[in-house]
Structure 1
Amino acid sequence: MATITTTTTTTMTMTTKVFSSVELVLMLLSMYTYVTRDIRTAVMFLLEIVFGYEPATRTFGRKPTVHEVRTLFEPLSALALCHSAEYTLEEIQTETDALAMVSGILHPVLIRLSPAEFAEIHNKADDAVDIMLYTPLSELQHLVSQWASDARSNTKLDNWLEWSRTYLHPGETDIKPVVNNVTGYSTFSVIG
């Protein structure tokens, strides 16, 4: 009786999914302690600005207006604080001022995205818009919490982790948003 030996070789291919428009909005929302209507509106505004961003020249095709930035000032200034930039409402007087604030919020994120990720953000724009418009706030908050939890263990989100760690004090390991009791918007405290 003959014995036949068979060897099977399995090749496993790891595919890294690129950052999408849904992940972009969830990442921006994760910088707040909780999601409110104003915060959702501010992130939708930023998403619209991102859709007009030209990565090759690092310029915004769709420029924010003074009125838009002043109207959304509270949630935008909370995001700016995440990047160690402080603005006052009185400082937003010109289109240049408005663009400077929005650029200060978005550039640290956008400069880390690959051309494939920009393409994915544009290709899946409707998915992000649908989530932002039609998902109840409580469910959106759950999605944000889940995204932030997953981001800490997902290698494709290393850019987000790198960004979040960039804004820590030396020797600290993580950031946790904390609600400012006066404004209701978050600032960040450091967890060691």
Structure 2
Amino acid sequence: MSNQITLTTTGPDATRALGARLAGLLRAGDLVMLSGGLGAGKTTLAQGVGEALGVRGRVTSPTFVIARVHPALGGGPDLVHVDAYRLSSLEEVDALDLDSSMEECVTLVEWGQDKVEGLAASRLEVLVSRPHGGLGPGDGSPVTDLAGADDGRRTMTVRAVGPRWQGVDLTVLTG
């Protein structure tokens, strides 16, 4: 069993479905760190996680509130969804007091790279990538509107770090 897997989704619905499969691996105390460029699909993946965990409220980008708690509607863990994009220091991350709720929740942090790794000895790191460049889908011909180069596909690299994830089969994410 590998501690890393790379998958491709074909659009927002498939990205949410991957998030739902990811949620099937998660339990209270887990930290998930989502990285990738603007518009890559981090929040779309988080929506699939939130829906599958059965939490209250629509999972949206918490950019302006920084962190949002989505309480569990059933017996599962709450989801703490964080957007660390506007945080510039470890002190600002510490001020969120995320470690006080880590044991009872799944904590999912967008833009957390180099900011939240110290919250837990184990974590899942998910790198979300989207197509770049000026070549369109299909025949690969040059395009002047880069939005035309984005056919909805996303590449997700999921890396398991730490003892919590030893022996966990990430191939279940392939669906």
Tell me if TM exceeds 0.5: no
Please report the TM-score for the alignment, with normalisation by the length of structure 2. 0.27
The structure with the largest helix share of the pair is: 1
The structure with the larger Rg is: 1
Please report the TM-score for the alignment, with normalisation by the length of structure 1. 0.25
